[in-house]
Amino acid sequence: MNALSSTEAAVVERARAAPMLAQLESWVAVNSGTRNLAGLGRMAKLLADAFSTLPGGIALIKPDPVQAVSADGRLQPIEHGRHLLLTVRPQAPIQLMFAGHMDTVYAVDHPFQAIRVREDGALNGPGAADMKGGIAVMLAALSAIESSGFAGRLGYQVLLNSDEETGSLSSAPLIARVARGKVAAFVYEPSLADGTLAGARGGTGNFSLAVTGRSAHAGRNPEEGRNALVAASELALRLASAAGDGLTVNPARIDGGGPNNVVPEHAVLRVNFRPATADAAARARAALDDAAAEVAAGHDVHVECHGSFNRPPKPIDAAAERLFGLVRDAGQSLGLTIGWRATGGVCDGNNIAACGVPVVDTMGVRGGAIHSADEFMLPESLPERAALSALSILRLVERGSV
């Protein structure tokens, strides 16, 4: 274990001593499901107040417009909450990005609304791990850094978006703008319960294929109809057959249909692609275009495709490898074993890496069972991960680059 310098030891102790648990408990008490705009507004206010202890300016950024395909194939706007952006010392020689999300997957009417302490001491609560605990860790680390003599060399932006759990569609352009020119980025998604970090990540793309056929009576003149449900079903089968060689395909839902005596005119296929590489994403897009054209011609229907690969694959390149190494070495100095492994999950780290910025995207608390009513975080990981983050940032500033 490498001994800490006196400056490092002081920063680490300040990070550990931050009131993270109290912050976490107050934040978890606010339902901030992605579609709960009122709750997101309350959450944004709480976070703005908390992060106002840091220097710099805080802004609440209007979300970019987003549309979604309804069950009958029409495009409809979807509202999102505002995104919080803190900018500190934009002229400093070293510029970093810190990212997290204030939204959770739990709707305003979801039964999982409160935090409790399990018998083993873990905290079970909505967003406790994913990722209100991570935001508390981020704030503790940055507050500790501000107390050091190195703070003047560091500029940074903190982005806390309101739509990560639904793909960051209204914040993706903002993520790209904030990432531009940064030396490195840390995202505060939870690590696994044993502290393992996410390394390489696959990408993801969500698409809605709206099929328009022709209605007819199922008994009197079915030959005049064009069955949109049948066409959508063939689309699902064709796309499923494209899986393999680094690509998974999940046709997840078909909306459409109606009375048994009516040939259905409308159907919408929802499908998710998970490409491991950029080549796999290109093959998925080609399969999507080919299937849509062939089914449209074969069934005499119209197929309109909506969606995108909103999370590009995130490989570990040389710069990312060095950043992971810096975090690993900081952990070693704190008596922690830091490892990482590839995962099929996605997050804003995918978007940041696609901008050419090295990123470690699981700097948050240790926990598990996220996106379920069993979600938990380990409270001892609050000071542990705050210390790891603060030391990693300090050494990155001392080094001056990744």
Q: Are 54 and 143 in contact (CB under 8 A)?
A: yes
CATH number assigned to the domain with residue range 6-201+314-399, chosen from the 4 options 3.30.70.1400, 3.10.300.10, 3.20.20.70, 3.40.630.10: 3.40.630.10
Q: Which residues lie below 8 Å from residue 103, measured CB to CB, with a gap of 6+?
A: 32, 33, 34, 40, 81, 161, 162, 163, 164, 165, 166
Separation CA 128–CA 33 (nearest Å): 13
Q: What is the pTM of this model?
A: 0.96
Tokens standing for 23?
């912050």
Mean pLDDT by 10 residues, the chain (402 residues): 88 98 98 98 98 97 97 95 98 98 98 97 98 98 95 97 98 98 98 97 98 98 98 98 97 97 98 97 97 98 97 97 98 98 96 98 98 98 98 96 92
Give domain limits for the chain: 6-201+314-399, 204-311
Architecture of domain 204-311: 2-Layer Sandwich (3.30)
Chain segment 354-395, per-residue pLDDT in tens: 999 999 999 999 999 999 999 999 999 999 999 999 999 999
Give the Cα separation of 225 and 346 in Å (integer).
41
Handedness of CA 157, 160, 165, 166 (dihedral sign): negative
| pLDDT, tens only, 93-110 | 999 999 999 999 999 999
Residues classed as catalytic: 103, 164
107 CB-near residues (< 8 Å, 6+ apart)? 31, 33, 35, 36
CA dihedral of 62, 104, 158, 67, whole degrees rounded to 10:
-30
Maximum CA pair distance of the chain?
A: 87
